[in-house]
Amino acid sequence: MKAEILLLPFVLGSALASEEAWVHKRAVSYVTMVSTTNIPLADYLAAASAVPAAPAAPVANKAVELPGASTSAGTTSSSSVGSRLVGWLDSFFGLGGTSNTPTTTSAAPVAPAAPVSAPSPSEVATPVVSAGLAAGPVSSDDSQYTYSGPVPTETVNWWDNLFADESGTASANAAPTGGLSINIGYSASIVASGIIPSVSIATSTGSVPSGGSSSPGDYGEYNGIVEYATKAKGVTYSPYIKSGSCKSAQQVANDFEKLAPFSLIRLYSTDCSCVENTLAAISSSQKLFLGIYNIDSNTITSGLQTIKSAVEASSRGWSAVDTISIGNEQVNDGKATVQDIQTALNTARSWLKSNAPQYSGSVVTVDTLVAVKNNPGLCDLSDYLAVNCHPYWDGSVQPSNAGPWLQNQISGLQAVCGNSKEVFITETGWPNKGSNFGSCVPSVANEEAAFKSISGVTTNYLAFTTYNDPWKPAGQYGVESNWGIFGESPE
């Protein structure tokens, strides 16, 4: 089990003095030891000191009280509280020593059999160093402030029991689903002093993608991609296992646990009972962007009938459907003309009006942004402009500039189609494997950089795509199957 760290903003009453910064580092290091997760302390401290936050309200669960920390006037001494806090945490873990030189030891912390009282000032006058934790003023090298060794289950359980609320259950800062929750709080006087962070730790259970970490919610090298891609409004999803066969309803449900951050899920077709299965898997706050891939009349009408049957058998009905798309990149691929697309959309709208009058969502066709710009007759056919736009295929875009590039492309489309209709990006991303296209290089790092850039500019898009799709032909540049934000599918 691996913990997800939720660090609430540091409460800073004044600029960080060197000892206060060290206390922050040391306190967070102990949280790191409990969770076995390394924290980028330098970045976090820099952000915390740059933007002071308002004093936090006292936490609801049991507080970590440091006896004698407050002065007679009811205020708190930063130096005294800082030293005593670190010493208290040292005692918690049974650590000791007086060296000011970082050690290379990575021994697991040992929890005491019972809570210990805060040590006296004389016991913590000399900062201690154990298990690779360095004492002293802030330095530019923060590797010494992290702990990556194993943590015994009993240590986690001990902390869980210590900081449970009065009923012995997990705190209010619990993880979204399952697992244990630990909240480390401080008395109001200590928090108000401006030097003590409020920290929460949560662990949750869930499915684990194959080929990655064995820890729930940890996607290995794809963690950064997930962090930025999940800022998007939605994501595209295909209901196939690696071989191309259909996923079961349970497998789809497992996938949708990962897709909880997204409010819109795009499907491309109606096969594999995917409409039925995704309707059963989505949350009450999510909607579907349904698709019919081909545009011949029989495919459209049979696809719409499948959608109607699944939707009307579901608990939410048509309210769960945001958009129905007819065709994907048909003009771009040379499979259809603008007139063909107009005919297909007319067929779909007519069928829906006669057979599903309750549907009040949008009807669109999806094509590439370039195809719509080059075929302006497409501008007026859809209820809004639904376009796929990938910076990689430009051939000259740096992933770190993917966001501004995408915005420029949208502006260019509006210059052709006008501003009367919303432009919605129905696919964008970056491949994580394959060959270079011009100066665009497929890699996991570049996929992360691209989503970071895009999400820094807009969140009104669909991330492409949930998993790598080995069932797809790799294509000329070997990238067609390698756009997954979560890496490989578990199945």
Residues taking part in catalysis: 427
- Among the listed residues 491, 452, 451, 448, the one whose alpha carbon sits nearest the alpha carbon of residue 468: 491
What count of other Cβ atoms lies within 10 Å of the Cβ of residue 309?
13
Q: How far apart are alpha carbons 322 and 359 in whole angstroms? A: 9
245: number of CA atoms within 13 Å, CB side? Answer: 5
Q: Which residues contact 222 (CB under 8 A, 6 or more apart)?
A: 209, 212, 432, 444, 484, 485, 486, 487
Report CA-CA distances (Å) from 86 to 74, 89, 129, 141, 227.
21, 5, 11, 20, 31
> Taking the CA of residue 179 as centre, how many other CA atoms within 13 Å lie in the half-sphere pointing to its CB?
21
SS (H, E, C) 58-101: CCCCCEECCCCCECCCCCECHHHHHHHHHHHHHHHCCCCCCCCC
| Cis preceding linkage at 465, omega within 30 | yes
Token couple for 30: 């102990």
DSSP code of residue 291: E
